Amino acid sequence: MSDRIDIHLPETAEPLRDAIRRLRWFRQALDRQLDDLRAETGLSFAVDDRKLAQIFVNWLREVDAQKPKDASARRAYFDFVSGLMLRDLLREMPLQAGPLPPQADTTQPEYFWPEGFALTLFCLNVRAAVIEQEFNAETTLAPEFFSLRQWWTFKENVTQDSATAIGFFDVFAGNHPDWQMPDSFRHRLNAVLIEQAKAARLTE
């Protein structure tokens, strides 16, 4: 797997930022992700559609509730809501992986934690596709994404506090994580502003 994100999502005539907020497209996109992963790794998954719909509805409501009025925060908000989606998916876990294929190497993240890996990759892919479409920008995976040690910590932490999934998502996406209040966009924005002010003082 390369550090460049390979985007393979269902076609849509709508902007992806709108398509992802339609349950039918969201399901198709996840199914395609799982199909790709199955072809590449031999892993198989069962999806609980009802659970997925509940996660989707809760996520939509939180996306609307935290939506910033300031248009300049859009890019940061796309990053944030992608992590938020991962938090909700991991918390409720709509996937169940089948038995590992015979050649599975459990020192590889995808075999170490198949469900977590599939959902994380899905959220990273959707984020990458939206950012490419909205901002004409390419995204890559951070080296931490390929580290088993990182995945071990990720799984351990998410089991205790699902909100930490947003921080790990940022690490994998190469962003600065907010570990204090990861599921508050306002707190995240404030942290970014403080960092920017510090950097400005250093360059003066």
Q: Rule CB under 8 A: which residues touch other proteins?
A: 18, 21-24, 27, 49-50, 52-54, 56-58, 60
Which two tokens mark 152? Answer: 């071990």
The closest of 11, 182, 6 to 80, measured between CA atoms, is 182
Residue closer to other proteins by CB (options 23, 193) is 23
Closest distance to other proteins from the beta carbon of 92 (Å): 11
Residue closer to other proteins by CB (options 52, 97) is 52
Closest distance to other proteins from the beta carbon of 54 (Å): 4
The whole-angstrom separation of Cα 35 and Cα 111 is 16
Which two tokens mark 204? Answer: 């003066």
Cα torsion 48, 60, 19, 81 to 10°: value is: -100
Residue closer to other proteins by CB (options 14, 40) is 14
Residue closer to other proteins by CB (options 33, 120) is 33
How far apart, in Å, are the Cα atoms of 177 and each of 73, 131, 171, 173?
16, 18, 6, 10
Closest distance to other proteins from the beta carbon of 53 (Å): 4
Closest distance to other proteins from the beta carbon of 168 (Å): 26
